[in-house]
Amino acid sequence: MNYLRTAMLLAAMTALFMGIGYMIGGQGGMMIALLIAAGMNVFSYWNSDKMVLRMHHAQEADERTAPELFHMIRQLSANAGLPMPKVYIINNPQPNAFATGRNPENAAVAATTGLLNMLSEEEVAGVMAHELAHIKNHDTLIMTITATIAGAISMLGNFAFFFGGNRDNNNPFGFVGVLVAMIVAPLAAMLVQMAISRTREYAADRMGAQICGEPMWLASALNKIAGGVEHIRNPDAEANPATAHMFIMNPLSGERMDNLFSTHPATANRIAELQKLAQSGLGSGGGYRPQATAAASSYRSAPYGQSASGPAPSGPWGGARRERPRNDAGDEPRRPRGPWG
């Protein structure tokens, strides 16, 4: 049922795109819009993942630059029955993550340094399992195409300001049509885009909990991410709002209302559903196995991507080592131990 609803929403967005073309240029404009929409869908199928990763300045990581994260995703991918996706790191303090790619064989997952620094190993595993669920469900292609069409509708709305204001331009609605194209159409595209995102998030939460084996890992992560997103801006997301629905949580604001203007379901509602899964017995083991190793402990004692002895040689996110405070005797205070040390 969710896939049928998603297909209907995508059809509605394409129809909206054609409708704007008709308002701007009549039947000729509608046909041009149809051709543009078809071309954009083809282009998005092959290139949208690269575009989104470039928009957010994501840099590819490997076993050398991010060994713990890379091994985690490899184990989770095996649990999900997926090929290993490419792994990317985004140098951004806001905790967030997304997945992209036209199919499981050409997929990528991206996490911000904020997410990797703020969350425990188990919580990161819950988030990455959620993103792998999007890949397994083929949501990534739908979401990237939706982002492309939504951006194009906004672009056409801007074009309407310069074209179609009179009958000479084959505009059957005159100035009223221009206003609709400029204001109403982009708003409608945003609503459809958000509806598609909300449709897929609950399904990804459920499958992600099954992949990692512990629903409460993701529930705890969502709670932390919600607080971080509310207080930390994401400039790249603000510059590319059409990609907001791809993230595990809306990167544009701390919006938590489950209504038409939310790119994601309410965080409290998502956590409640995960709690129901945990109570039903899911989470008894058999999923991801945290790496409680000395290497992981020393790795987590410094910012993500840096060793305890100093910055990583050439990690994709870089950054200087942050000095930890010391007491009067010159000793570092004891840190509470967690899954990463």
Higher pLDDT, 30 or 303: 30
Phi, psi of 127 (to 5 degrees): -65, -45
Percentage of residues in the chain with pLDDT exceeding 70? 54
Query: What angle in degrees, to the nearest 10, is found between the helix axes of 267-279 and 185-212?
Result: 30
Which residue, 80, 62, 60, is CA-closest to 71? 62
pLDDT band of 262, cuts 50, 70, 90: low
| CB-CB contact of 9 with 191 (8 Å) | no
Three-state secondary structure call for residue 130: helix
* Span 111-124, average pLDDT: 96
Query: What pLDDT score was predicted for residue 71?
Result: 95
| CB-CB contact of 150 with 40 (8 Å) | no
| CB-CB contact of 251 with 229 (8 Å) | yes
Query: What pLDDT score was predicted for residue 333?
Result: 40
CA distance linking residue 101 with residue 140, whole number of Å: 6
Q: Is the pLDDT of residue 296 over 70?
A: no
Higher pLDDT, 12 or 316: 12
* Span 140-146, average pLDDT: 72
CA distance linking residue 293 with residue 296, whole number of Å: 5
* Span 295-310, average pLDDT: 38
3-state secondary structure labels for all residues of 9-50: HHHHHHHHHHHHHHHHHHHHHHHHHHHHHHHHHHHHHHHHHH
Q: Residue 306 forms beta bridges with which residues?
A: 311
**Which DSSP helix (H) or strand (E) runs through 274?**
helix 267-279
pLDDT band of 32, cuts 50, 70, 90: confident
Check the annotation: does 57 bind a ligand: no
Query: What pLDDT score was predicted for residue 322?
Result: 35
Q: Give the alpha-carbon dihedral of 235, 240, 243, 245, to 10 degrees.
A: 60
Phi, psi of 58 (to 5 degrees): -75, 140
CA distance linking residue 11 with residue 2, whole number of Å: 14
Query: Which residue numbers are catalytic?
Result: 131
Residues 35-89: pLDDT tens digits?
776 676 676 667 778 888 999 999 999 999 999 999 999 999 999 999 999 999 9
CA distance linking residue 183 with residue 293, whole number of Å: 55
pLDDT band of 271, cuts 50, 70, 90: very high
* Span 323-333, average pLDDT: 43
Residues 150-202: pLDDT tens digits?
666 666 666 655 555 444 555 555 556 566 666 666 666 666 666 666 668 88
Residue 290, burial from CB neighbour count under 10 angstroms (0-12, 13-18, 19+): middle
| CB-CB contact of 214 with 283 (8 Å) | yes
Query: What pLDDT score was predicted for residue 286?
Result: 57
Q: Residue 108 forms beta bridges with which residues?
A: 86, 100
Cβ neighbours for 334, distance < 8 A, ≥ 6 positions apart: none
Query: What pLDDT score was predicted for residue 182?
Result: 62
| CB-CB contact of 259 with 265 (8 Å) | no
Query: What pLDDT score was predicted for residue 200?
Result: 81
Count the alpha carbons within 13 Å of 107 in the hemisphere toward its beta carbon: 26
Least confident of 82-91, 213-222, 287-296, 309-318: 309-318
pLDDT band of 30, cuts 50, 70, 90: low
Query: What pLDDT score was predicted for residue 119?
Result: 97
Q: Residue 87 forms beta bridges with which residues?
A: 61, 109
Three-state secondary structure call for residue 214: coil
Check the annotation: does 130 bind a ligand: yes
Query: What pLDDT score was predicted for residue 148?
Result: 65
CA distance linking residue 108 with residue 84, whole number of Å: 9
**Among the ranges 46-50, 137-141, 258-262, which has the highest mean pLDDT value?**
137-141
Check the annotation: does 238 bind a ligand: no
CA distance linking residue 87 with residue 175, whole number of Å: 48
Least confident of 95-109, 129-143, 193-207, 316-330: 316-330
